[in-house]
């Protein structure tokens, strides 16, 4: 067979492994040989091709030095189960990753907001981040003031889709803010539930499946 730049070799004198053809060329700079030299030529230079073997199953699998077997050098592996300490460390990391996904879910859901059907039957989304809720609270105060004074002032609202809905009445603004707050608490409640499940879990199987969004809950 011919040896390519990506074929693993072993240095027969030092046992260095893996060695690749570019290193062989560098170590034999005064010798000239083909781009893909034969296995026999490589052997003359003190190297042997290492045949690949199937990687065994195991929690931890590491490659060990090759061995000479039945006339050729073969790749070797060492496989073992996780130790108790490794299993615990892996679980702690898996739990933290789950909690990170829950926090990201909450953040993304608040940014994307909840669905809302406007008076013209157009369905958009009301964002529910801290600043969005502060703006909603201010808008609601103005709407309630307009209701108290009998003002016919109308209001505009900017959606997640960057659509501005104009001409909303005070009553419509109050309804919009009520629904937005209800959906905000629903998002928090669902994320709190997932977080509590994750925090209480003692093994991987008990960790919750974190969805990509909360559309299934009508958010």
Tens-place pLDDT, residues 32-74:
888 899 999 999 999 999 999 999 999 999 999 999 999 999 9
Q: Indicate the pairing of strand 47-51 with strand 72-80.
A: parallel
3-state secondary structure 104-123: HHHHHHHHHCEEEECCCCCE
Same domain? 96 vs 174: yes
Mean pLDDT to the nearest integer, 85-100: 97
DSSP string, 137-171: HHHHHHHHHHHHHT----EEEE-TTS-EEEEE-HH
Question: Domain boundary at 25, 57, 80, which?
Answer: 80
Question: Domain boundary at 80, 108, 125, which?
Answer: 80
Mean pLDDT taken over the chain? 95
Same domain? 129 vs 205: yes
Same domain? 119 vs 176: yes
pLDDT tens digit string along 135-179? Answer: 999 999 999 999 999 999 999 999 999 999 999 999 999 999 999
Same domain? 88 vs 194: yes
- The pLDDT value recorded for residue 84 is 95
**Residue 60 φ/ψ, nearest 5 degrees:** -125, 120
Res. 29 pLDDT band, cuts 50 70 90 = confident
Res. 187 pLDDT band, cuts 50 70 90 = very high
Q: Is residue 141 part of a domain?
A: yes
The total number of structural domains in the chain stands at 2
Pairwise CA distance, residues 132 & 57, whole Å: 51
Pairwise CA distance, residues 126 & 135, whole Å: 11
Domain that holds residue 130: 84-217
Q: Is residue 4 part of a domain?
A: no
Mean pLDDT to the nearest integer, 77-106: 97
Q: First vs last Cα of the chain: how many Å apart?
A: 63
């Amino acid at each position: 067979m011919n040896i390519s730049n990506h074929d693993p070799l072993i240095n027969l004198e030092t046992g260095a492994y893996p060695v690749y053809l570019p290193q062989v060329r560098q170590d034999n700079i005064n010798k000239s040989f083909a781009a893909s030299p034969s296995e026999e030529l490589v052997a003359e230079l003190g190297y042997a091709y290492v045949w690949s073997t199937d990687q065994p199953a195991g929690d931890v699998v590491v490659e060990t030095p090759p061995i000479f077997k039945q006339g050729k050098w073969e790749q070797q592996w060492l496989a073992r189960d996780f130790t108790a300490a490794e299993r615990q460390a892996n679980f702690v990391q898996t739990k933290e990753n789950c909690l990170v996904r829950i926090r990201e879910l909450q953040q993304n859901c608040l940014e994307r907001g909840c669905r809302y059907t406007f008076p013209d039957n157009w369905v958009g989304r009301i964002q529910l981040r801290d600043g969005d809720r502060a703006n909603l609270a201010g808008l609601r105060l103005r709407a309630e003031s307009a209701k108290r004074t009998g003002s016919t002032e109308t209001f505009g609202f900017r959606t997640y889709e960057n659509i501005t809905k104009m001409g909303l009445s005070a009553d419509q603004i109050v309804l919009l803010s009520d629904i937005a707050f209800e959906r905000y608490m629903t998002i928090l409640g669902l994320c709190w539930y997932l977080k509590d499940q994750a925090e209480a879990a003692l093994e991987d199987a008990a960790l919750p499946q974190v969805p990509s969004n909360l559309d299934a809950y009508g958010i």
